[in-house]
Chains A and B, each alone.
Chain A
Amino acid sequence: MKKTILKPLILGAMVLGSLSAEAHRAWILPQETQLSGEDRWVGFEAAVSNDIFVANYHAGFFGNVEVAQPDGEKGSIENLHTGKYRNVFDVQLEKEGTYKVFTASNGMRAMWQEDGKRRMYPGRGEQYTPEGFAKNVPEKADNLRVMQSSRRMETFVTLGAPNDTALQPTGQGLELVPVTHPNDLYAGEKATFKFLIDGEPAEGAELTAIREGTRYRNQQNEITAVANKKGEVTLTWNGAGRYFIEVEYKDDKAKKPATERTGAYIAVLEVLPD
């Protein structure tokens, strides 16, 4: 894996259109992650902002947030409201177990030169479709660069005891597979997560974890880790709190006609005091 991972990600954010032109952090933040009782609701905030978790940059687009329920059924977000800098929405928890609240996209993107002008697909605000790709991207062009890219952003909440049904990987893009359950994290214990790229261990994936409250300290105090052969990373937390997790992966095992494969994974996880 190469170190020059930032540039394609910045461009990726540009072409995907749903984010800012810069590589700003985006997140979906639950108010609570472990709940007891019956028929509960959880409120979420979602925004694009480098300050963890202070919504002060861009609301972003979160109308496509999906919910996977503890039995694998599709749920939905309710009461979505978009403010200047953030979105808020609710999810109702009627079933016991773990809910995954997420957005995911997989596709190809391309950049090339045409008549001396820079072109790209998908364009700003445009969604990738195989048809659109076939129609818009030339087979040959100057500086043609085709990338297979995936991006997933998620968080988890659990009513009652956690389970894994909603966490089954799809085999597409960069995904987290729990070794330690993401709603069973405690400050004094290590946590292990496995990452898959298109269903295979994402060896070399680079993880960064930052605890909330950066505004009240002078350093980001990020935790970094690189996935081993099995795609696993083991983290020692910097105390209790909600963490912003970002994982980046890149290799050249792309689906044709792409020559590069990139995966981005973002999660918000809550670590409780012991």
Chain B
Amino acid sequence: MKLVNNALAATALSVAVMQANAADLSVSVEIPELDVAEYHKPYVAVWIEDDSNKVVSNLAVWYDIDMRNAEGEKWLKDMRQWWRRIGRTLEMPIDGVTGATYGPGSYDLEFTMGKAPMSDLQPGDYRLRVEAAREVGGRELLNVPFTWPQQQDITITEQGSSELGAVKLTIKP
């Protein structure tokens, strides 16, 4: 997984270097700036389901990983669909998938077919799902349908309306 953001820490960048130029699929997740009295960075999950709603890749989960006694796991279930589809069967944290939460900004994730956490997609119809849940805030789930493989570069964008901004999926053949 490659994660690029202007304000991002060096650790994530070192991961990016290792996998440079090999991305088949990139996802850009925007977390909007919100004018609220009490702001907590949202929990966010990014995953891919096939056309029978089966999770084929659990790509990213951002949650409060630093709390004592894994207390941050208590709210994982607020990402309801993710929790139901895959989260509740997983042992957290997961190397290369889980990470700390992010504040407002746009975050790019890059994945390579067959390289964890991205599975080798069989030709078919899928949907990328991005779910965000915020403490004392709301929840939003965006679905980005796509077909794999593609003949040429394609970018599909879905616009969130509350907890998520733009979610962009770019596929390279």
Contacts and interface: CB of A to CB of B under 8 A. Distances in A.
Interface of A: 34-38, 40, 160-162, 184, 186, 272-274
Contact of A34 (B69, B71, B77, B89): B77
Chain B CB count within 10 A is highest, among A36, A162, A272, for A36
B80 interface: yes
B145 interface: no
B22 interface: no
Given A36-B74, A272-B80, 11 more contacts: A34-B77, A35-B77, A36-B83, A36-B88, A37-B73, A37-B74, A37-B76, A38-B70, A161-B89, A273-B80, A274-B81
Given A160-B88, A161-B89, A40 B83 contact: no
Interface in B48-78: 69-71, 73-77
Mostly, the B contact residues are helix
A160 B92 CA distance: 11
A191 to B, nearest CB: 14
A94 to B, nearest CB: 14
B115 interface: no
A186 to B, nearest CB: 8
B40 interface: no
A34 B83 contact: yes
B108 to A, nearest CB: 27
B73 A161 contact: no
B131 to A, nearest CB: 11
A40 B74 CA distance: 8
Nearest to A160: B88
B160 interface: no
B15 to A, nearest CB: 26
A273 B87 CA distance: 17
Contacts of B89: 160-161
A40 B77 CA distance: 13
A40 B70 CA distance: 11
20 contacts: A34-B83, A34-B88, A35-B74, A35-B77, A36-B73, A36-B74, A36-B75, A36-B87, A37-B70, A37-B71, A37-B73, A37-B74, A38-B70, A38-B73, A40-B74, A161-B88, A162-B88, A184-B84, A272-B80, A274-B81
